Amino acid sequence: MRSIGANEARTHISRLLDEVARGERITITKHGVPVAVLVPPGPAAAVDTEALMQWMREFRKGNRLDGLSIRELIDEGRR
């Protein structure tokens, strides 16, 4: 992993982003102290929609509105 000063990073951000897109990690320093790391994004997490829906169903079982409507809750939140 290579380091680069903040001023130089600001000047060459486009080139740095190209390097990161190719897989390189770059540490940005300010007065010699690391302040940020540019890294390529990781793989997107897959969402298990069936498990999410099951969790929502279970969550609803223990959380009732006790006669309140969604509109009443929205209005209460606006006060």
Residue 14: give its domain's CATH number: 3.40.1620
pLDDT score, position 13: 96
How confident is the chain (79 residues) per 10-residue block, as mean pLDDT?
A: 94 96 95 96 88 90 79 84
Domain hosting 15: range is 2-38
Total structural domains within the chain? 1
Question: Among the residues of the chain, which ranges form H helices?
Answer: 6-11, 13-21, 49-61, 70-77
68 domain-assigned: no
44 domain-assigned: no
User: What is d(CA 18, CA 9) in angstroms, rounded to the nearest whole number?
Assistant: 12
pLDDT score, position 78: 82
What is the pTM for the complete model shown?
0.55
pLDDT score, position 25: 96
